[in-house]
Each structure stands twice: as C-alpha cells, then as structure tokens.
C-alpha cells in the first residue's frame, strides 16, 4: 500500500470513528492536553494505570500453516502492530486481522491459546505510551490527556506514572504471569519512591485491579497501596456484552458489519466474564428479548447454545466466580462513574436473532455503555471495610469521556495532592453527586433495577 493511499485510509477511518456512536470500551479522540516544562515532583504518590479492555497496544508475529485469504501475510520476520492498526479495518484486512487476533479455547483443558502460528505480546509493560495512544500514528488517544496532566503536575513518564497493559483478550484466571509482574512493579515503584502508590483503573481494568487486590494479603495492601481510583468500572458486568456476543457490534468501524466483527468478539474469554452478574440484576430481568424466548441471567447456557457459541458457556463458567460476592477491596477506594445517560439494559430482536441487529431497546440510567446498577455496586462497600470508600457520580458523563474529561482529571489531581473533598471549583452539584462514607451509609445502596416492560 502506497504512503498517500495509506494516509487516506487512516484519515477516513479516523473521521468515521469520531462520528460514530461510540466504542465498546474505548473511543478515538485527539489529545488536547499539552505538556509543559515542569520540575519533577517526588512528594505526590506514584500512580500505576491499568487500562480497560482494548485499552493498550498488542503486537504479533506470525508463521502460520495456512491463511484465510491470499492477500494475508502467512509469515513475518518481526512483530507488527496487531491492536490497533487502523488499516486492518478495510474489507480484506479485517479477515486477516480476525484470524491473527483470535484465541482458540479448549473445553478439555479449559485454557485458551493463540491461533496456530501466531505469537502475541503486550508491548511497553511499565511504560505509558501503550495506553496513551492505541496506534503508532497517535491518532487514537486514550490515557494521553490523563498522563500529560500528571506530567504537568510534576510526574515523570515511566517513573512516577507508569502503566500495566495486559492481553485484554484473556480473563484474569489465565493471567498468572501478568499479576506476578504487576505485583513486582508495584513493589519496585514503592521502593523507588519510598511511599505507597495509587492504582488507577478504567472500565474492565478496574475489575482486573479488584481481582488482583483479592489475591494480596491485607498486610501487603497496607504497605504498598495508597488507594485505588476507579473510573467507570462494570463491577457487576455489562448488559452490552450480551448484544456483542449475540449479534456483534462494529464499534463504529466503517465498512465492517456487526456480524463480521462478531467473529472476533466471540474469540475472547473476557467478554463472557463481563456478562451481567447476579449482584447487579434480579433473576427475572430480561436482557435479550426475541419472539421465541426471553433471556435472563438464569438462561446463559441456553443463550450460548441458541447463538451457536457454546464455548462461551464454558468460558463464563471458568470466570463467573473470579470476583464472586464483590467483597471490599481492602484499600481506600475512589469509585467514580457517569450517570444520567440512557443505557440499554434490554435488547429486543426480531425472528432473525442472532444474525441481525436489535430492532428496539429498553433503557435505564448509566454512562451510555454500562448501567449505573453495575457501576454503583461499590456503594455496598461503604461501612464494610476499615478504609474509606468514596463514591462520586458525574452527571451526563459518557463511559469513555471519564478518562479524558478535564473536570474528572482535576478531581484525580486533588486525590493525589491530598485535597480530595475540599471545596473548590471542580465541584458543582448539578454535575457531580458525591457519596462518601460514612455519612451516607443509609442512602448509599444501589437503586432498584428498572421494571422490565417485556
């Protein structure tokens, strides 16, 4: 592909993505924060970022026994960008990409592996570049605004602020090596700065952090973790996952159908893990409605059979109890999420299910991607652990914008500087609703779920 044509493709894809309704757990935004020359500040606690699903770069190297299309590479001499190279979303490129990024699940061993002849690695562990931008051309910004703001506070990239990217295709039950590296990175940062650090997670990254904290002793957490800042965490899973697995969602990618992208979305173990948890929803709430059957959380096995993806049932069984019961994390936590936006909690299909898009939706409160019932489950920790629990709801804050929004980033700064809760210009009652322990323990229980109209 010639350079001019390549740039044209990238521009078309970028513009289309920015006009899309939104990505599953990330979107494409240009960075609007500029780095200023600041003297490094070692007084504020170090920060370690854990991104959401699809929130960091992946690379692959291939030597495959066969290929799905004659235009696909069969072998490469070195690693290349697997996620995200915007050129891969062209009609032919999508088939090559799906075959490279997919995982293969073994029902006997209950383990997943890469496609035959494909090696996948996560670049930049301990560095921020892989979460600041998701592509090498720096068109798809993610944590860049946040990191740039921290640098302007006096943080140093890859030293006082670092990131722990991971293979987001694979659920925590198969991530022993990652969590060992994460623990060592925490300890190394503690030793370097001689003070505990903040873990900052977005979306499913917060679920990863929660699982990680459950594996540590209280003594370890007391020594190494200053606090846990969570942004838009689907503590109780996400209803949207059911639609993604059933009929796919093209994430706003132009020229790619929902059914085509569904092939890749079913080839992860993290999507089944994120099915709605029983902690968030009553047993009779209908998530998927079709002319022949209404699917609740009691019908997951039938759901996977009916959509012809029975591996998904085994993946869900493997992961359903990773954070069972959602006990408190055992560290001070700042649980922030968006509310006030219509968020689908029921998808209605016609008789073409699952091979056609939903024809209607039932909405409830949320951040346009995850419902507030799931994100608000952190309220149950108020008064249930020795460490403080802070909950703040940001009015009309979309799921992705919470990482990019200047107001949210200013609140994060106030935490790092020990000023959280002080009256300042970052708080306006119409925009944010704080729920802090212990003064609102009685009022801080999750609202009742919406009554199904089905």
Radius of gyration of the chain measured on its C-alpha atoms: 21
Q: d(Cα 298, Cα 146) in Å, to the nearest integer?
A: 40
CA 417 to chain centre: 26
The dihedral built from the CA positions of residue 175, 179, 185 and 188, taken in this order, carries a sign that is negative
Catalytic residue among 99, 367, 368, 371: 367
Are β-strands 80-83 and 58-62 bridged in parallel, bridged antiparallel, or unpaired? antiparallel
Write out the two tokens for 295: 């699917």
367 labelled catalytic: yes
Locus of tokens 């987001």: 168
Burial class (CB in 10 A: 0-12, 13-18, 19+), 197: buried
For 330, the 3-state DSSP assignment is coil
Instruction: Determine the distance from the C-alpha atom of residue 372 to the mean position of all C-alpha atoms in its chain, rounded to a whole number.
Output: 16
State both tokens at 221: 């957490």
Report whether 232 contacts 367 (CB < 8 A). Answer: yes
Nearest to 152 by CA among 406, 424, 398, 337: 406
Alpha-carbon distances, residue 114 vs 86, 99, 333 (angstroms)? 21, 10, 35
Q: Residue 337's CB: how many other CB atoms inside 10 A?
A: 27
- Which helix or strand (DSSP H or E) is residue 92 part of? helix 91-101
User: To 10 degrees, the CA torsion angle through 351, 354, 359, 362?
Assistant: 110
Task: Pick the catalytic residue from 149, 318, 399, 437.
Answer: 399
Burial 201-229 (b: 16+ CB within 10 A, else e): bbbbbbbbbbbbbbebeeeebeebbbbbb
Token pair, residue 109, equals: 């061993």
Active site residue 285: no
Residue with tokens 């609140």: 411
Helix (H, G, I), strand (E, B) or coil at 385: coil
Q: Per the residue annotation, which of 112, 115, 140, 203 is the catalytic one? A: 203
Residue with tokens 């119409």: 430
Query: Rounded distance, CA 152 to CA 147, Å?
Result: 9
d(CA 328, CA 266): 31
C-alpha–C-alpha distance, residues 340 and 227, integer Å: 27
Catalytic positions are 203, 367, 399
């Amino acid at each position: 592909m010639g350079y001019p044509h390549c740039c044209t493709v990238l521009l078309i894809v970028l513009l289309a993505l920015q006009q899309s309704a939104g990505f599953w757990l990330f979107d494409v935004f240009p960075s609007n924060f500029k780095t200023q020359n600041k003297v490094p500040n070692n007084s504020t606690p170090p920060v370690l970022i854990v991104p959401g699903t699809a929130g960091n770069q992946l690379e692959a190297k291939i030597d495959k026994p066969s290929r799905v299309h004659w235009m696909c590479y069969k072998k490469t001499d070195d690693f290349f960008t697997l996620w995200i190279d915007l050129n891969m979303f062209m009609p032919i490129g999508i088939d090559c990409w799906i075959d490279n990024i997919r995982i293969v699940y073994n029902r006997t061993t209950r383990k997943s592996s890469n496609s035959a002849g494909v090696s996948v690695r996560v670049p930049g562990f301990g560095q921020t570049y892989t979460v600041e931008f998701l592509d090498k051309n720096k068109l798809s910004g993610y944590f860049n605004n946040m990191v740039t703001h921290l640098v302007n506070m006096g943080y140093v990239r890859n030293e006082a602020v670092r990131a722990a990217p991971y293979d987001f295709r694979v659920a925590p039950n198969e991530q022993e090596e990652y969590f060992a590296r994460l623990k060592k990175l925490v300890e190394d940062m503690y030793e370097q700065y001689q003070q505990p650090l903040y873990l900052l997670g977005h979306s499913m990254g917060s679920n990863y952090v929660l699982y990680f904290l459950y594996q540590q002793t209280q003594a370890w957490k007391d020594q190494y973790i200053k606090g846990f800042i969570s942004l838009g965490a689907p503590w109780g899973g996400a209803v949207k996952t059911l639609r993604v697995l059933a009929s796919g969602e093209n994430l706003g990618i132009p020229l790619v159908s929902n059914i085509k992208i569904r092939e890749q979305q079913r080839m992860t173990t993290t999507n089944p893990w994120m099915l709605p948890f029983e902690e968030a929803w009553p047993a009779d709430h209908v998530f998927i409605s079709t002319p022949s059957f209404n699917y609740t959380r009691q019908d997951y096995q039938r759901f996977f059979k009916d959509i012809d993806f029975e591996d998904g049932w085994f993946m869900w069984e493997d992961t359903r109890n990773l954070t069972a019961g959602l006990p408190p994390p055992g560290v001070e936590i700042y649980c922030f999420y968006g509310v006030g936006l219509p968020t689908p909690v029921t998808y209605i299909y016609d008789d073409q299910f699952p091979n056609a898009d939903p024809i209607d939706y039932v909405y409830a409160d949320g951040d346009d991607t995850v419902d507030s019932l799931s994100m608000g489950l952190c309220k149950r920790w108020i008064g249930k652990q020795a460490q403080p629990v802070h909950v703040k709801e940001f009015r009309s804050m979309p799921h992705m914008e919470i990482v990019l929004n200047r107001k949210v980033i200013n609140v994060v700064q106030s935490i790092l500087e020990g000023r959280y809760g002080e009256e300042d210009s970052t708080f306006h009652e119409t925009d944010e609703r704080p729920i802090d322990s212990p003064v609102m323990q009685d009022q801080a229980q999750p609202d009742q779920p919406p009554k199904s109209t089905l």
